[in-house]
Amino acid sequence: MTCIVKLNNAVDTLEEIYTLFDKAMAAFSFACTKQCADCCTCNVTTTGLEIAYLQDRLDAGRLDDIRVRLARAGQTRRFRPFQTTNGFALACMEGRDADDQENDPSWGTCPLLEDGICTIYPVRPLGCRVMMSTTPCRQAGQADMPFFALTITTVFMQFVEHLDAGGVYGSFLDLLEYAQKNVLDCNRLPKKGKIPGTTQNLKIPALMIPPEHVEKTRNLVQSLRRMIQENDGPLSSA
């Protein structure tokens, strides 16, 4: 029972973090509109906790629709990360080079799209939410994000990962496919190694905030700290 309560608390905290993220991003003028789905590829990554959140918030009909869409899409090539955001921060702290991985949007679009519209938009993972641009991607050929917005999105990614420290991190579609075939219990998803192509979420070793953005993000970081502390006790590593 204790473990189940802890998971429920984490899921609720995750929703609070999503809400705070939306508020933080409202300060910027982005060109993203409905049916703008250029960033909606098969290469999105996520945490196991975000999959648990998705399954908790969607009804049986929506989950069945996901199952059908995944089966229809079949196994496709997709980005499978071997390093998390906090893993990257740790590598930088230790003076290690971050390994590059191939990530090609031409591998395909997300099967959860319908006529360019996300069918799970309200519960989409942070890996989807951080995809935004101040100019239409089709015009520029790539996303255009202000440096400060990039800092904010990175901080949120670090805290969401920290919330699920010890859990699994990998391809959104891989984890979603696994969850459709396995009941998520209080242990969330299996640890690293149980699902091929996944790695383990880490606690925050250090926040990746440039010196010029430290003061500007202070209140935001304090809010995120409080959310994490309320869910899982003191946050000493961040």
Does 3 have pLDDT greater than 60? no
Q: What is the mean pLDDT of residues 100-109?
A: 82
Q: Indicate the pLDDT class of residue 196, thresholds 50, 70 and 90.
A: confident
| H and E: helices and strands count for the chain | 9, 5
DSSP 8-state assignment for residue 44: -
Does 237 have pLDDT greater than 50? no
Least confident of 25-39, 117-131, 193-207: 25-39
**Pair of tokens at residue 191:** 């640890």
Task: Report whether 79 contacts 63 (CB < 8 A).
Answer: no
Cβ partners under 8 Å of residue 67, min gap 6? 180
Q: Helix, strand or coil for residue 216? A: coil
DSSP labels, 73-128: H-S------SS-HHHHHHHHHTTPPPPP----GGG-B-TTEETTEETTGGG--HHH
Residue 105, pLDDT score:
79
Least confident of 73-82, 175-184, 217-226: 175-184
Does 119 have pLDDT greater than 90? yes
Considering the chain, what is the average pLDDT of its residues? 85
Does 145 have pLDDT greater than 60? yes
Q: Helix, strand or coil for residue 10? A: helix
Residue 77, pLDDT score:
86
pLDDT single digits (tens) 25-77: 999 887 676 767 778 889 999 999 999 999 999 999 999 999 999 999 886 78
Does 219 have pLDDT greater than 60? yes
Q: What is the mean pLDDT of residues 141-149?
A: 82
Residue 74, pLDDT score:
80
Task: Report whether 166 contacts 136 (CB < 8 A).
Answer: no
**Pair of tokens at residue 38:** 């250029």
Residue 139, pLDDT score:
72
Does 122 have pLDDT greater than 90? yes
Does 160 have pLDDT greater than 90? yes
| Residue of 203, 195, 143, 202 lying closest to 173 (CA atoms) | 195
CB crowding 212-227: b at 16 or more within 10 Å, else e: ebeeebeebbebbbeb
Does 143 have pLDDT greater than 60? yes
Q: Hey, which of 63-72, 103-112, 204-213 has the most confident mean pLDDT?
A: 204-213
Write the CA distances from 222 to 26, 102, 106, integer angstroms: 19, 35, 39
The CB-side HSE value for 109 (13 A sphere, CA atoms) comes to 14
Q: What is the mean pLDDT of residues 103-131?
A: 91
Residue 134, pLDDT score:
66
Residue 124, pLDDT score:
95
Does 136 have pLDDT greater than 80? no
